Amino acid sequence: MSGLVSTAGLGTSTKLIGLTKHTKHRHVPSPVSPSFVAPSAQSSLSFNPIALAAAIARTATTWDDAPVALLDGLQQSALIELETLLQDGSAFALESHFKFLADTAGSQFAAKVGAGIAHLYMDALGYAWRANAACLSSSLDPHADFIYEGGNVSGHGVVLAEAHGSFAEDASGAKIANAARRKYAKQVKPFIAKPSPFGDIIHGYSIAFGSKPTAAGSFLAVSETRITKPRGRKTPPPGVSQAAAPAEGAPERMALATHRSNFLLLGAPEVTSWIDWLRSPDGVAPDRSDIPFVRLEYAGRAYITAAPWFWRADGSPWWVEDFIDHVGWWRFARRPRMPLTRRSRSDFGWFAIEERAGASFLNALSNAIREGERRMPATLELPTFEPTGFELSAGDRVARRDADEPYQYALFRDGLALLGDPLRGRPRDVVVWSPEGGMVLG
């Protein structure tokens, strides 16, 4: 398993989709949490293709107890479909061969893209931590897709989000808006003001995205809980900043669910296994061997990522460029035996995590492993970041950013990033995480 993924065919143009319809739904009681202020809806969402690819991979792997091998396969298949079926350009459009998909395959692909769009929207609103919402009810009952924490909802509870995607010939703004309202009423509203394993649900969203397979353009509709109490303050629209926000409290269960997916995407299933051990009362402890991570600088930040599985005989690491220059074949789990000579190096992306975010979580995990009680503090002090690669209300900044942005990548609030053309990054060293000793950054 590797944190390297193919990004061939995704293109580089930033896509801009307008908010077709925003609907608020009454709820009693309102507000559920008296001091909660929902982020303001914005008129549009912009994102580069790498951000959408990363969001789809994240949502495909947000399952708290699913086997790692299954989740890895799900995210790989989702990215293959995206690079095959998404057209480049500022408007969202599908390739013409989408029509050759069977109805079920087309619907499944639309659902994956809808989930990715919903995640970009929720992260842009300020929600940093996520978990699957399957814990809310049995498989026979309809429930929303994801639970979010962080941002405005920190300290109040959690919010619920349902995602929907549709690529149909008769797609329209009205039909997508109806889908958002219908799914809110059926899969979100019944759970508002109810408890969940991650905290009380105090607010909810239903986010529907659609496009016609034969025409460029798209529709985005959002339904959310109405807060009838007058708001005491206004929330500024999210912006893009290179500075990290001060460390804030991330609820333990949400942090574990989020980073279980993150480290799987990084290509570090050993960390995922330790998270599973921590949450299981009867599981056998994984192997306690140290795990190496590559540390690199990219676009002005420092990141860590799983060290590639290739090492020299003396134990020193090969850097990616050395490997590509000296080896004629690269075995991707998702694309075995693909000759590198037929691909550009810029066709590769690498999942990584901002080094402070990664080390802070890994050290908290080591503390729990060392103490042997399978318990972390109720709240973890983890940094968060303003997103890069996607934002709300981008407007006329899209064209300028496409011309001026030297790097194609996406950074999410919890520190996870998908780095396009990772060979532009500058490797610094290899750092090691010890399950009992933690990680020290020099």
pLDDT of the residue at 405: 64
Q: Is the pLDDT of residue 322 over 60?
A: no
pLDDT tens profile 129-163: 999 999 887 766 788 999 999 999 999 999 999 99
Specify the range with the lowest mean pLDDT, choosing from 89-93, 160-164, 339-343, 369-373.
339-343
pLDDT of the residue at 69: 64
pLDDT of the residue at 327: 34
Query: Phi first, then psi: what are they for 34, rounded to 5°?
Result: -55, -35
**Angstrom distance (rounded) from CA 144 to CA 146:** 6
pTM listed for this prediction = 0.86
pLDDT of the residue at 198: 94
pLDDT of the residue at 314: 52
Specify the range with the lowest mean pLDDT, choosing from 220-234, 239-253, 302-316, 341-355.
239-253
CB 411 within 8 A of CB 389: yes
Q: Is the pLDDT of residue 86 over 90?
A: no
pLDDT of the residue at 159: 98
Name the one residue in this structure whose structure tokens are 């495909």: 60
Q: Is the pLDDT of residue 17 over 70?
A: yes
Average pLDDT over residues 319-342: 35
Q: Is residue 125 very low, low, confident or very high in pLDDT (cuts 50, 70, 90)?
A: very high
Q: Is the pLDDT of residue 339 over 50?
A: no
Q: Highest mean pLDDT: which of 131-145, 274-288, 319-333?
A: 274-288
Q: Is residue 311 very low, low, confident or very high in pLDDT (cuts 50, 70, 90)?
A: very low
Average pLDDT over residues 266-283: 89
pLDDT of the residue at 247: 43
pLDDT tens profile 383-414: 999 999 999 985 555 545 555 567 889 999 99
pLDDT of the residue at 434: 96
CB 235 within 8 A of CB 186: no
CB 240 within 8 A of CB 386: yes
pLDDT of the residue at 137: 79
The amino acid sitting at 383 is P
Q: 415 versus 233: which is more confidently predicted?
A: 415
Q: 404 versus 12: which is more confidently predicted?
A: 12
Average pLDDT over residues 258-264: 94
- Write b or e for each residue in 88-122: b if 16 or more Cβ atoms lie within 10 A of its Cβ, otherwise e: eeeebbbeeebeebeeeebebbbbbbbbbbbbbbb
Q: What is the dihedral of CA 50, 52, 57, 58, to 10 degrees?
A: 110
pLDDT of the residue at 204: 98
Q: 77 versus 271: which is more confidently predicted?
A: 271
Mean of all residue pLDDT scores within the chain: 82
Specify the range with the lowest mean pLDDT, choosing from 53-62, 115-124, 420-429.
420-429
Round to the nearest angstrom and report the end-to-end CA distance of the chain: 27
